[in-house]
Amino acid sequence: MQNTAIEVKNLTKIYPLYKSPIDRVKEALNPFGKKYHKEFYALKNVSFEIKRGEVVGIIGKNGSGKSTLLKIITGVLKQTSGKVLVNGKISALLELGTGFHPELNGIENIYLYGALMGIEKKEMKKKIDEIIAFADIGDFIYQPVKTYSSGMFSRLAFAVAINVEPEILIVDEALSVGDISFQYKCFEKFKEFKEKGVTILFVTHSMGQVLNNCNRAIFLKEGELIKDSYNVKDVVAEYEKYARGVSDKKADTKKVKNIDISTKPNKEIGEKRFGSFRALINNLTISDKRDFENDLVVLESGEWVYFNFLIYAKEDIDKVVLGVSIRNKNTSDIWGDNNLFATGRLFELKKGYNKISYKFRLNINQGEYLVFAGLARLDGKREELDQRWPIKKIKITSSRRQVGFLYSPIEVIKD
């Protein structure tokens, strides 16, 4: 236990769910102990051990049990069964401003938080200047926190939580607060914590934060632990597959007779599809090589990728252009290209299945994007063969932070 910060053994949390408030009363008064509720497992037999100094990201969809887990570890909630052993002083930021009183000003709430942490007022006095400077919210520190913007509220809560010298820091969705200067201070604080051996455990929906900050990740699904690994990228990929309902493997394109050539749009991503359909963009897989089988769920900024198109032509068709673009959620173009721009030539489709790959470096910053694809014949008059808007959603991650959509890391040269 000496090198263990947190140990979780067969942790289970069950909530009773009643159809109506009257059922709760019926159950309480029933002399035969009849149950009027269904059991909901927020956590189900979860077990893991976290060593001192580890930075662990807990990921999963809403309702997967992430916040419940953190609340049990910090003692805010009590488990139904199982054990939690904590070795060290915890500072927790579970919900922004937890422990803050809206009528008290910033300074008064700093002392209140310290009292809740079991820190005497004279000790908090030694830290208060550092906390105020870290939060950097100006004269608002003397105003009731109910007058704060969400940003100021976040900065103060975060500043208090990380400046009380914790041995274990637990954070729930609060790592992206403030401007770049404040985030830099947070980053420096995390570096300081790592050097001191502070254990950091946090919940986030930002896969970029997990990849940038964690040396370990835990994936929860519907209250169960699905994957726990020091290979953070693998855990993120597993989560993304689940979150988007896709698999790494696609049908073997060599067995073309088994491939669906439907012209129906994909309603799950709101696809709009139109054209003469003399030729179809049957499928698009994105991989790190040209094999038409592996469809990577998580792509990485700056890496070479292959967009592998399987196209079905009902007859021989010449003078064809295949275009592809990547757009953000607002459908603004981030990148796009086609074979005519790339080579100055159009190509010919043979009757049956055709395989076409576009290879390029993915110099796009981390985020979620949509892939649009279009197939057309250009012979004086343009014939739209198959337009798929969008054909696919993609998730791009990055091992480092950058601003904007373009991924173009600088090379720093200093005399």
Are 4 and 31 a contacting pair, CB within 8 Å? no
Same domain membership, residue 355 and residue 326: yes
pLDDT tens column, 281-324: 999 999 999 978 778 878 999 999 999 999 999 999 999 999 99
Same domain membership, residue 197 and residue 68: yes
pLDDT for residue 206? 77
Same domain membership, residue 265 and residue 375: yes
Residue 81 has pLDDT above 80, yes or no: yes
User: Which of these three, 244, 274, 290, is where a domain ends?
Assistant: 244
- Does any domain span residue 192? yes
Same domain membership, residue 325 and residue 240: no
Q: Phi, psi at residue 243, to the nearest 5°? A: -60, -35
Of the listed ranges 90-99, 207-216, 225-234, 287-296, the least confidently predicted one is 90-99
Residue 79 has pLDDT above 60, yes or no: yes
Same domain membership, residue 185 and residue 311: no
Amino acid at 346: L
**CA 159 to CA 147: how far, in whole Å?**
18
Within 10 Å of residue 93's Cβ, how many Cβ atoms? 25
Same domain membership, residue 276 and residue 238: no
Residue 268 has pLDDT above 70, yes or no: yes
**CA 101 to CA 156: how far, in whole Å?**
13
- CA end-to-end span of the chain: 48
Percent above pLDDT 70 for the chain:
92
Same domain membership, residue 368 and residue 283: yes
- Does any domain span residue 403? no
**CA 186 to CA 180: how far, in whole Å?**
10
CATH no. for residue 306? 2.70.50.60
Two tokens, residue 166: 């914790």
Which of the pair, 218 or 33, is modelled with greater confidence?
218
- State how many domains the chain has: 2
pLDDT for residue 246? 56
Same domain membership, residue 335 and residue 209: no
pLDDT tens column, 336-355: 999 999 999 999 999 999 99
Mean pLDDT (whole number) for 13-37: 83
CATH no. for residue 34? 3.40.50.300
Within 10 Å of residue 290's Cβ, how many Cβ atoms? 13
Within 10 Å of residue 78's Cβ, how many Cβ atoms? 9
Same domain membership, residue 311 and residue 210: no
Residue count of the chain: 415
- Does any domain span residue 45? yes
Percent above pLDDT 90 for the chain:
50
Question: Could you tell me which residues come within 8 angstroms of residue 54 by beta carbon, excluding any fewer than 6 positions away?
Answer: 5, 199, 200, 215, 216
Question: Could you tell me which residues come within 8 angstroms of residue 406 by beta carbon, excluding any fewer than 6 positions away?
Answer: 363, 364, 365
Reported as a pLDDT band with limits 50, 70 and 90, residue 388 is very high
- Does any domain span residue 295? yes
Same domain membership, residue 217 and residue 93: yes
**CA 135 to CA 160: how far, in whole Å?**
8
pLDDT tens column, 139-198: 999 999 999 887 788 888 888 888 888 899 988 775 555 566 777 777 778 778 888 889
Q: How does the average pLDDT of the chain come out, rounded?
A: 87
Same domain membership, residue 49 and residue 185: yes
Within 10 Å of residue 257's Cβ, how many Cβ atoms? 5
- Does any domain span residue 325? yes
| DSSP string across 24-41 | HHHHHH-TT----EEEEE
Amino acid at 310: L
Two tokens, residue 295: 């469809």
My answer on whether omega of the bond before 390 falls inside 30° of 0, hence cis, is yes
The domain of 325 spans 256-397
pLDDT for residue 295? 84
User: Which of these three, 202, 219, 244, is where a domain ends?
Assistant: 244
pLDDT for residue 370? 92
- Does any domain span residue 69? yes
Same domain membership, residue 260 and residue 227: no
Residue 366 has pLDDT above 50, yes or no: yes
- Does any domain span residue 184? yes
Within 10 Å of residue 235's Cβ, how many Cβ atoms? 24
